[in-house]
Amino acid sequence: MTFDMFQEYIEEHILEGWKSDVELDVAMVTKNNGVQLRGLYIKSKEMNVSPAIYLDEYYSYYLKGESLEEIIRRIREEYEWKISRVADYHFKLEKFEYVKDRIIYRLVNYKKNEEILEDCPYLKLYDLALTFRWVAHSDDIGISTALVTNQEMEAWGISMNELLLAARENTPRLFPAQMVDMDEMIQRAGVCMPMDRSAIPMYIMTNRQEVNGASVLLYDDVLQTFALKKKTDFYILPSSIHEVILVPSDKIDNPSDLFTMVEDANRTVVALGDILSDSVYYYNREKNQIVPVTEEKRIV
């Protein structure tokens, strides 16, 4: 069964014996870094929001042998879970006061997201863009967020500064920072590493949920406090939108090796939708400043 045939089957059978007062729609959705996914929308007249159910993942389950009946059951379950998380907001999104405490920011690649950035407020930071989202729900099971659009910002009647101030306050509160020693993480995972690699200390900086954790880079005092504690500046490797890796600058003789590490990971390990950047950044603890490592510094 092709993907198109799979979609047609789902559209024909998903509502049978389940819902009758809704409409179905399938649309291509542009996600982070231009990744295109096929989103199924189950629209109710009573709700002005409709969470997307991405059929691509379910088609992969079908290809692995999962039955169509089980897939339909899981799609319904996902819809019910998502709609229950956004239900409190479906009449309140028009007023900023109702979502003000749930506005957060997220770092993404600027070049790879130019199309999305045309429709949303953002701030450009070197080769990255700081975008804004509102959190519908966050718990141990999962996190539901949505991009803040230009249309919503206009309806709210707020400035970029107001949006940024809300995100600066909320993001560290809702998604607290955490530092993880990479050696400790590898040991807990039971992975054996060659001694020459483990000799260079590396630290993973993310948030406790480990979702969109690269944004921790912008938290007040987090980098500076850690750098002062370790008494060193750091190279910052943007391993994905979910975390960055900190490498003590006094342990690196040739920064060019770091570029190679990041580029290789982005080509072979990191999912396309999770790539943050091929760049390497440098944190100066005295200036409390992050700057990109220039091409000239790749050759020492």
**Rounded Cα gap, residues 204 and 246, in angstroms:** 6
CA dist 204 → 181, 231, 247, 271 (Å): 6, 17, 9, 18
With a cut of 60, say whether residue 142 has pLDDT above it.
Answer: yes
Q: Please give the helix or strand (H or E) that residue 265 lies within, else none.
A: helix 256-268
**pLDDT score recorded for residue 78:** 93
Asked whether residue 150 carries a pLDDT value surpassing 60, the answer given is yes
**The model's pTM:** 0.87
Q: Is the pLDDT of residue 50 over 70?
A: yes
Q: How confident is the model at residue 109 (pLDDT cuts 50, 70, 90)?
A: very high
Instruction: Kindly indicate the confidence band of residue 20, based on its pLDDT and cuts at 50, 70 and 90.
Output: confident
Q: Lowest mean pLDDT: which of 19-33, 57-71, 209-223, 283-297?
A: 283-297
Residue 108 pLDDT > 80: yes
Q: Single out the residue of 281, 286, 292 nearest to residue 227, CA to CA.
A: 286
Q: Which pair of tokens denotes residue 224?
A: 């500076």
Per-residue pLDDT, 195? 45
pLDDT value at residue 300: 36
- In this prediction, residue 87 carries a pLDDT of 61
Distance CA 191, CA 213 (A): 23
pLDDT of residue 188: 61
What percent of the chain has pLDDT above 70?
90
Residue 199 has pLDDT above 90, yes or no: no
State the pLDDT at residue 88: 59
pLDDT in tens, 247-297: 999 989 888 899 999 999 999 999 999 999 999 999 999 999 999 997 545
Per-residue pLDDT averaged across 208-220, rounded? 95
pLDDT at 192 over 70: no
| Mean pLDDT for the stretch of residues 139-166 | 91
pLDDT in tens, 123-136: 999 999 999 999 98
Domains of the chain by residue range:
3-87, 96-174, 177-298
Which pLDDT tens digit goes with each residue over 161-182?
Answer: 999 999 999 999 999 999 999 8
pLDDT tier for residue 194 given thresholds of 50, 70 and 90: low
Q: Which pLDDT belongs to residue 298?
A: 45
Q: How far apart are CA 107 and CA 104, in angstroms?
A: 10
Comparing 25-29, 224-228, 253-257, which segment has the lowest mean pLDDT? Answer: 253-257
State the pLDDT at residue 57: 96
Taking the C-alpha atoms of residue 239 and residue 20, their distance in angstroms, rounded to an integer, is 45
- Of 54-68, 88-102, 216-230, 283-297, give the lowest mean pLDDT range: 88-102
Greatest Cα pair distance in the chain: 67
Given a cut of 70, is residue 90 above it in pLDDT?
A: no
Averaged pLDDT score across all residues of the chain: 90
pLDDT, residue 299, reads 37
